Amino acid sequence: MTTDSRTGPPRFGNEREMLRAFLDYHRATLAMKCDGLTDEELRQQSMPPSTLSLLGLVRHMAEVERAWFRRVFDDNDAPMVWSDKIDFQAAYDASESTRAEAFTAWEAEVENSRRIEREAESLDLTGYQPRWGEEVSLRMVLIHVLLEYARHNGHADFLREGVDGVVGA
């Protein structure tokens, strides 16, 4: 793994600053877990029957970003990135994917999510979550996506260790 270039979250700040910083920290953590690996290494699966790989996690998080920011606050009918229907599992199949393809999609969704958050006047901004059929706040979305990254970064720790033995932050 390359050196740790992440910016750690602040120790103090208002709610929005803290949520934004912790989410960006977790986004950077996922990217760091993939640093220095080839496409083949990024596609390496954990162990049967799981098909989980680091590249699959990147693809999955592109779907999460789209489903929870773009589809809630911009366009409820925006297509998912990797499937015709809302199928988060489809993103895990990275057998034909490349770093360039997966990271381009993920980074585009992250930038769109950041734009939505920056432009919102308040964390109380509401949007419609099509999967649930109800309104949700930007605050809830930020927390939900932050928890998604935290959970999947734990998976990324084990996957990276399985690829080349690298462990740590």
Tens-digit pLDDT profile for the chain (169 aa)?
A: 557 888 888 899 999 999 999 999 999 999 999 999 999 999 999 888 888 999 999 999 999 999 999 999 999 999 999 887 777 677 778 888 999 999 999 999 999 999 999 999 999 999 999 888 999 999 999 999 999 999 999 999 999 999 999 887 6
Predicted pLDDT of residue 89: 73
pLDDT score for 169: 66
Give residue limits of the domains in the chain: 16-164
Report the predicted TM-score, pTM, of the whole model to 2 decimal places.
0.93
pLDDT value of position 2: 58
| Residue 165: other Cβ atoms inside 10 A | 7
> 16-164 maps to which CATH number?
1.20.120.450
Q: Are 116 and 74 in contact (CB under 8 A)?
A: yes
Query: What is the model's pLDDT at position 47?
Result: 83
